[in-house]
Chain A
Amino acid sequence: MSSLKYRLFKNKLLTLSVVIFSALTAVPLVLIIGKVFLKGWRQINWDFFTKTTPTTLDALLAINNNQPIPGGIANGIVGTLMMVLVASVIAIPLGVMCGIYLSENRKTKFSTVVRFLTDLLQGTPSIILGIIAYLWVVIPLKGYSALAGSVALAIMMLPLIVRSTEETMNLLPASLKEAGLALGSPYRSVVLKVLLPSAFGGVFTGILLAVSRVIGETAPLMLTALGATTIQWDITKPASAVSLLIWEFYNDPNLQSMIWSASLFLLLLVLSLNILAKQLAKKWRI
């Protein structure tokens, strides 16, 4: 056995390196948020939220006249909100019901299979869901549409909602359900009026996390929603999204200065949803 001094030295060395490397891991977050914030905040003003994206030509003229680029990302904001809303309308009822089923039928073979597939679905790359929505919605409707984007996002949201609903419902004491049934209320009222409200906190945070996960997605929307330069309320037409706009700005040399403000907006939106969900999860813990 090596000497005590050497062993204690090794111990200290490990502690020190764990602390140092852990601290280093926080650096990228600071760098990324710092970069986006510093380069992005200047473009953010009222027009940024209310006007649609300028054409390349307008941007070029503004740059040549040394003026700020006119226009904003209103078409992207509307598109993102609409697609996420439609995706939520599809995914929330389906996901919550599936979660209830898995929690109510815990040990059956069928549940085990569905649970496993849910996990696999959660690991499926988002671009694949883009291809799927292309095959299932874009081809039958003969054109790109916001609806196709919503379908891709909905499939992405499903596994998160299913598992968070299931896990929260599993935490509820069995006596709760028994008490409801003992009072003679039918099964559906026990589930919908006793169990689900008690599990509301967990289900809701699961939904928020799912939304924050898909709201910044780009890849599946490239294959489905395509993008649009105007505000589009019709879900059967192509629509834009904030993430898609960032991709367009990135590819258009004249619109480069709008990249960062759009990214800042998206980043703040996603991170605040994320933090909100986690704070609520802490507060509503069963």
Chain B
Amino acid sequence: MSDKIFRSLLLVSALILLLIFAGMFFSLSKGAVPAFREFGFFGFIFSDKWISGTGQSTEQYGALAFIAGTLMTSILALLICLPFSLPVAFFVGEYFRGKKVAGILGGIVDLLAGIPSIVYGLWGFYALRPLIQSLGLSEQGFGVLTSSLVLAIMIIPYAASLSAEFIRMVPQELKEGAYSLGATRAEVIRNIIFPTSFSGIFSAYVLALGRAIGETMAVTMLIGNTSRIPRGLMDTGNTMASIIANQFGEADGLKLSSLIAIGLLLFLITAIVNFLGRLMIKRHSV
């Protein structure tokens, strides 16, 4: 009898997880309804106006500026992180595989993932921003580029450690076959390892992109918080996460609903990105 209870307890715990996820989707959707009703679903997504007027009549909210800001910062971060995380992946997964140096570098890069987002933000604000100012890239030092640089550092560990795993999984016989034909290591990497592990590495970067999209504190402290589409890499803006962090506390009514609607969109976008990434990993490992 009590075995039955135990088994159902296990089942219930799995069901709770399912319910949490479904409940999150439901609550966000419910909270977003007033905003969507006022501006229309697509009207809300494709409007770049974010005006919190004093009277009801002047209020106008849309998500486009923040979607643009999110895409710009996260894609730029991905591009910046690429030339660093890929070498780390090959360093750990191929060149010094199993050696002590690889363990040390892997450990150091993993520690980057442990640093709290707010500390990254502080470092970006007090160390990176003055550097950008002194280089004359932008007057205040805030903006898309500054945020992307810090984001890039933050996602390196995610991209690198997963890629290294896929690089390690390339069958030894394939590599040895190429070596026996006289290929150099660079040629083995280019013609054997990279093509074989490509879909895995690609999925690692998709998951890293998901991280960058949802990152909040560091971006909030560095992007400059202006509610419009950034006009360039040096311009200020806001991401979906940073507008929520900035304005949620003082919001009510239609504005609160609009922020929840942005939360819903962010939830859906990261869920889709993660879904695709996980799907590719599954395909790759089969």
Interface residues of A (CB under 8 A from B): 7-8, 10-11, 13-15, 17-22, 24-26, 28-29, 31-32, 35-36, 93-94, 97-98, 100-102, 104, 110-111, 113-114, 116-128, 130-132, 134-136, 155, 158, 162, 186-188, 191, 212-213, 216-219, 222-223, 226, 243, 246-247, 250, 259-260, 263, 266-267, 270-271, 274-275, 278
Contact = CB atoms under 8 A, between A and B. Distances in A.
Contact of B87 (A21, A217, A226, A267): A21
B91 interface: yes
A60 B11 CA distance: 57
Contacts of B7: 187
Interface string B92-125: 0001000000000101111110111111111101
A156 to B, nearest CB: 11
28 contacts: A14-B189, A15-B185, A22-B105, A25-B105, A25-B108, A29-B109, A32-B119, A35-B127, A100-B10, A101-B14, A104-B10, A120-B271, A123-B207, A123-B210, A124-B214, A125-B214, A125-B216, A127-B241, A128-B267, A135-B31, A212-B114, A216-B118, A223-B249, A246-B119, A246-B122, A250-B122, A266-B119, A271-B115
Contacts of B20: 121, 155, 158
A61 B30 CA distance: 48
B274 A120 contact: yes
B89 to A, nearest CB: 9
A51 to B, nearest CB: 22
Interface residues of B, number: 82
The 3 closest A-B pairs by CB, nearest first: A125-B214, A216-B116, A123-B274
A113 B22 CA distance: 12
* Interface residue SS majority, chain A: helix
Contacts of A17: 87
A126 to B, nearest CB: 6
Interface in B228-253: 241, 244-245, 248-249
B273 interface: yes
B122 A125 contact: no
Contacts of A10: 184, 186
A150 B116 CA distance: 17
Contacts of B274: 119-120, 122-123
B123 A25 contact: no
B217 interface: yes
Nearest to B210: A123
Nearest to B279: A116
Interface of B: 2-3, 6-7, 9-11, 13-14, 16-18, 20-21, 23-24, 27-28, 31, 83-85, 87-88, 90-91, 95, 105, 107-112, 114-123, 125-127, 153, 156, 160, 184-187, 189, 207, 210-211, 213-217, 220-221, 241, 244-245, 248-249, 259-260, 263, 266-267, 270-271, 273-275, 277-278
A216 B119 contact: yes
B179 to A, nearest CB: 12
Contacts of B278: 116, 119-120
Given A7-B187, A116-B278, A125 B17 contact: no
Contact of B110 (A13, A250, A278): A278
A216 B117 contact: yes
Contact of A102 (B14, B88, B156): B14
B118 A22 contact: no
A127 B244 contact: yes
A132 B91 contact: no
Given A126-B216, A270-B114, A222 B249 contact: yes
Given A17-B87, A246-B119, A270-B116, 8 more contacts: A25-B88, A32-B119, A32-B123, A123-B211, A213-B114, A219-B216, A246-B118, A247-B217
Contacts of B221: 250
A140 B117 CA distance: 29
Contacts of A130: 244, 248
Nearest to B107: A278
Contact of A110 (B14, B244, B270): B14
Contact of A25 (B84, B125, B215, B249): B84
Contacts of A250: 121-122, 125, 221
Given A114-B14, A274-B111, A25 B156 contact: yes
Contact of A101 (B11, B108, B111, B277): B11
B86 to A, nearest CB: 8
B13 A14 contact: no
Given A188-B6, A271-B114, A22 B87 contact: yes
Nearest to A13: B186
Contact of A271 (B105, B111, B186, B277): B111
Nearest to B2: A188
A188 B1 CA distance: 11
Contacts of B160: 25
A40 to B, nearest CB: 10
A88 to B, nearest CB: 16
Nearest to B116: A216
